[in-house]
């Protein structure tokens, strides 16, 4: 993989040499063409005299290096993405001028051309270590510095960075040979920004282009007026304008909530949010200027789940201004101090400061299910993860770091008490402002405010891997009351750790007046060790008992027999969204563990979909329903089950309220159940596209049209020329991506070969186009089409890792995995590859192993259901 890795040992050694203060003056010239830009970085820093160290830089060419006033031959010091610095003085000044390359992969300084109007947009993405793709830098989080940015750009562009603009100067553009350009239209501007506060390099940022802009201000709790701005591409401005005031309002509510909760007002000079194209992540917490993927600019109808996710994302990145930016981890093993806190507090803020009051149900269904999946792989890791190098860091932006960490923080709040928890957070933020901190620094503050010894708690929750299971056992007395109620905690063999839990046990019964299932009792208690008796003797036995009521802790759940039967029959009647999410997640986990028949889960889920109102639970119920149908059912009965589920989804969509989120999600989900030769499916989709079948309230907008085109392509019911014609109707960044996906999803061997070759070898594809091609390639539920790529996948894995940047390698290794192939073949070939590549990079092996173990689960669960011999009841 190109780009130098950095080990923790190397970072520690460099930290011992490079000393504060550190200052950067970074000058970027963005007017020199569409492939490269000129970067000049002047770094002033102290050091131990006589020592040697290095700067990080990924560049096409280094043209000049000056160390303490002396020119140094770049060919002698620039190698392996490093600038070697020898025989340092006590006070040092180093200047490096280089030609750096624009990326189309979302790493470094990404350049995107909007085909709808020809506008060029630039944005930076520097996490984990990609500031070095734009300027020479000590690119590690604990070498914080002050940064001065100057940017030369075309006159028609705007440029934004972490700090407010200090000055803008009109310039005559100089050509590469130093002569003055003779075209008046070639004039440029130089943007100079105010110095940043002390900060880490991965949080610096530059965006440039003819972005549309909106502005307002916020009266900060410390008396300052904070300028705020939002930006997007011109092609999206009309649609974005509808939501700008709402998003400003959400952000301001976040400012107020966090300042009140933590007792620390927003610390920076401004706050911009810029929605950018072809983004690899959801968003990035650059200080004072957050970048957000512009799929969050809604030009077509979206699910309520996605609309809520946008709110959570906005508040997540805002939370980072304190957790990650104001106080930053020393090394990437404490990445969770950034991400877990941002995930937890953004959900808390969403639930308590916005209209999305069921945000914790959203978190349970969406984020927590992500954590449970990854925590049951052999590749699981502690929340405080062992990070030996940057490659380890890349793959730790996962469900453990985000969702499990946030779940455990919710448990910690229950364990120590909310007021004491946030008092400790206030002390932590104030004590380590503008500097770096560790887990021990946080625990020290929380121990002081809570009075609890958190070392043992931390060892079990943060420093050990794996997830516990809590099983409910109940016996009845002769009069029908509870004789005993016991919670039994177990742990997997690989991670035999029993944890302390603060949780609640809920009692649920049917309310005869409403027909709903409601909570009629609740007992909160501490659970520790293998067994815990719940003080419930003599209480009436309820119809359903839920350990982990209100989802206070992080655990797998197993119900007593009566409760399980009641949940399967009545989940759709529970009145509380969070309760439904907790119970549904437990049923899904049982299905994945081959403890619940796939057909039982399918039946229960279909009933849930007839009434569920929480959009994210609805969305994930549909996703898990699809996984169960296409991977976990008895293969001999799978086609019939899929047809049955498709018919039920279409019926539910037709009966759903017109224009509702439920209708939209059901209709969209139906489109993924086509198989080649299913003429009835093709006829239905074609009728939706040509308007002969109308679901009242279901709008045939741009994105839904493309969903229909993709569905027709998946069953070979549309020609490639028709896909081209659909793109010609409206040629945009997004529609080009949709078109690539539609071509790749076609159920033919030729289409799969085209998609495979495009993904691996077409370097002209942007990151987003490549992801669509890979998704289409792997998205056809056909074993016959997937089987030929089992051996090819493992033959190409190492080449991909060595020849692609990390994000592109990850997209290919995960996106091209032929998951619909024979799982036994995938497991055999995958294990053989792992045995033969024991010396491969740990991050590569982790991606491959995760894929192989998913296939192993598919094989085992399908065999379990095959032995049951059950069918879905109509």
Interior CA angle at 634 toward 632 and 635, to 5°?
95
Contact yes or no for 382/287 (Cβ under 8 A): no
HEC-encoded secondary structure of 807-821: HHHHHHHHHCCCCCC
Contact yes or no for 245/285 (Cβ under 8 A): no
Handedness of CA 165, 166, 169, 173 (dihedral sign): negative
Cα(812)–Cα(10) distance, rounded to whole angstroms?
29
Q: Which residues lie below 8 Å from residue 441, measured CB to CB, with a gap of 6+? A: 428, 431, 432
Cα(218)–Cα(31) distance, rounded to whole angstroms?
34
Q: What is the DSSP letter of 716?
A: T
Contact yes or no for 244/214 (Cβ under 8 A): yes
317 is catalytic: yes
HEC-encoded secondary structure of 161-226: ECCCEEEEEEECCECCCCCECCCHHHCEEEEEECCCCCECHHHCCEEEECCEEEEEEEECCCCCEE
* Residue the block writes with tokens 């620094």: 441
Cα(732)–Cα(382) distance, rounded to whole angstroms?
43
* Residue the block writes with tokens 């009792």: 521
What is residue 285's three-state secondary structure? coil
Q: Is 73 exposed, middle or buried (0-12, 13-18, 19+ CB in 10 A)?
A: exposed
Identify which of 450, 455, 257 has the alpha carbon closest to the alpha carbon of residue 347: 257
Most distant CA pair in the chain, distance: 99
Neighbouring CB atoms inside 10 A of 42's CB total 18
The two tokens of residue 212 are 């549309």
Contact yes or no for 769/737 (Cβ under 8 A): yes
First to last CA, the chain: 52
DSSP structure string for 745-805? H-SSHHHHHHHHHHHHH-TTS-HHHHHHHHHHHHTS--HHHHTTHHHHHHHHHHHHHHHS-
- Find the catalytic residue in 278, 317, 612, 614: 317
What is residue 73's three-state secondary structure? coil
Q: Are strands 469-476 and 482-490 parallel, antiparallel or unpaired?
A: antiparallel
Q: Give the residue numbers marked as catalytic.
A: 317
């Amino acid at each position: 993989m190109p780009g130098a890795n950095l080990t923790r040992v190397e970072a520690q050694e460099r930290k011992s040499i490079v000393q504060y203060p550190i200052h950067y003056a970074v000058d970027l010239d963005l007017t020199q063409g569409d492939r490269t830009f000129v970067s000049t970085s002047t770094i002033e820093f102290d050091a131990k005299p006589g020592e040697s160290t290095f700067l990080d830089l990924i560049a096409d060419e280094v043209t000049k290096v000056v160390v303490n006033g002396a020119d140094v031959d770049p060919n002698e010091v620039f190698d392996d993405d490093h600038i070697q610095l020898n025989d340092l003085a006590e006070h040092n000044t180093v200047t490096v001028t280089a030609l750096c390359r624009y990326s189309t992969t979302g790493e470094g300084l990404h350049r995107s051309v909007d085909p709808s109007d020809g506008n060029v947009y630039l944005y930076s993405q520097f996490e984990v270590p990609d500031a070095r793709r734009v300027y020479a830098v000590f690119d590690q989080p604990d070498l914080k510095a002050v940064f001065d940015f100057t940017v030369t750009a075309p006159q028609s562009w705007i440029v934004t960075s972490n700090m407010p603009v200090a000055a803008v100067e009109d310039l005559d553009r100089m050509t590469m040979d130093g002569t003055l350009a003779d075209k008046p239209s070639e004039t440029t501007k130089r943007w100079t920004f105010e110095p940043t506060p002390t900060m880490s390099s991965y949080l610096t940022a530059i965006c440039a282009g003819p972005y549309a802009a909106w502005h307002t201000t916020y009266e900060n709790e410390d008396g300052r007026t904070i300028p705020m701005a939002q930006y997007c591409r011109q092609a999206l401005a009309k649609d974005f304008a509808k939501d700008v005031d709402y998003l400003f309002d959400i952000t301001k509510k976040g400012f107020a909530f966090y300042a009140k909760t933590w007792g620390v007002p927003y610390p920076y000079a401004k706050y911009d949010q810029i929605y950018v194209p072809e983004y690899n992540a959801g968003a990035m917490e650059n200080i004072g200027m957050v970048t957000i993927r512009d799929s969050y600019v809604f030009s077509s109808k979206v699910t309520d789940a996605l609309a809520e996710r946008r709110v959570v994302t906005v508040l997540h990145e805002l939370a980072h201004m304190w957790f990650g930016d104001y106080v930053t981890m020393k090394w990437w093993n404490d990445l969770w101090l950034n991400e877990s806190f941002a995930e937890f507090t953004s959900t808390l803020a969403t639930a308590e400061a916005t209209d999305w009051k069921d945000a914790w149900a959203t978190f349970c269904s969406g984020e927590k299910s992500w954590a449970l999946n990854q925590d049951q792989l052999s590749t699981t890791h502690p929340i405080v993860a062992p990070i030996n190098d940057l490659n380890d860091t890349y793959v730790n932006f996962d469900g453990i770091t985000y969702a499990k960490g946030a779940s455990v923080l919710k448990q910690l709040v229950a364990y120590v008490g909310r007021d004491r928890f946030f008092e400790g957070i206030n002390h932590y933020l104030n004590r380590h402002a503008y500097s770096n901190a560790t887990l021990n620094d946080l625990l020290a503050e929380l121990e002081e405010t809570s009075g609890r010894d958190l070392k043992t708690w931390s060892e079990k929750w943060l420093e050990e891997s794996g997830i516990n299971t809590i099983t409910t056992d109940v016996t009845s007395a002769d009069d029908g009351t509870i004789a005993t109620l016991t919670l039994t905690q177990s742990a997997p063999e690989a991670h035999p750790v029993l944890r302390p839990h603060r949780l609640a046990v809920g009692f649920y019964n049917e309310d005869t007046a409403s027909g709903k299932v409601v909570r009629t009792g609740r007992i909160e208690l501490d659970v520790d060790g293998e067994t815990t008796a719940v003080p419930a003797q003599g209480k009436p036995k309820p119809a359903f008992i839920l350990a982990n009521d209100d989802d206070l802790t992080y655990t797998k759940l197993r119900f007593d027999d009566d409760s399980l039967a009641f949940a399967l029959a009545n989940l759709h009647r529970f009145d509380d969204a969070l309760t439904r999410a907790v119970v549904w997640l437990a049923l899904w986990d049982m299905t994945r563990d081959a403890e619940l028949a796939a057909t039982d889960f399918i039946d229960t889920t279909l009933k849930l979909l007839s009434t569920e109102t929480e959009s994210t639970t609805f969305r994930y119920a549909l996703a898990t329903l699809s996984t169960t149908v296409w991977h976990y059912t008895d293969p001999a009965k799978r086609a019939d089950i899929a047809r049955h589920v498709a018919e039920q989804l279409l019926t539910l969509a037709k009966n759903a309220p017109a224009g509702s989120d439920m209708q939209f999600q059901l209709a969209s989900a139906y489109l993924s159940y086509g198989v080649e030769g299913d003429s009835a499916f093709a006829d239905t989709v074609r009728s939706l596209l040509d308007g002969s079948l109308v679901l009242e309230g279901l709008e045939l907008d741009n994105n839904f049209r493309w969903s229909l085109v993709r569905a027709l392509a998946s069953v070979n019911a549309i020609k490639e020329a028709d896909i081209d014609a659909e793109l010609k109707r409206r040629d945009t960044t997004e529609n080009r991506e949709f078109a690539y996906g539609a071509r790749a999803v076609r159920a033919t061997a030729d289409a799969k070969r085209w998609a495979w070759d495009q993904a691996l070898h077409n370097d002209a594809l942007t990151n987003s186009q490549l992801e669509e091609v890979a998704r289409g390639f792997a998205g056809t539920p056909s074993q016959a089409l997937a089987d030929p790529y089992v051996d090819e996948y493992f033959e190409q894995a190492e080449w991909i890792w060595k020849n692609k940047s990390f994000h592109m390698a990850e997209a290919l290794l995960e996106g091209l995995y032929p998951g619909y192939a024979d799982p036994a073949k995938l497991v055999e070939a995958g294990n053989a590859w792992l045995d033969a590549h024991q010396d491969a990079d740990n991050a590569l092996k982790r991606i491959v192993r995760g894929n192989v173990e998913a296939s192993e689960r598919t094989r085992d669960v399908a065999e379990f259901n095959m032995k049951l011999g059950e069918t879905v009841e109509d």
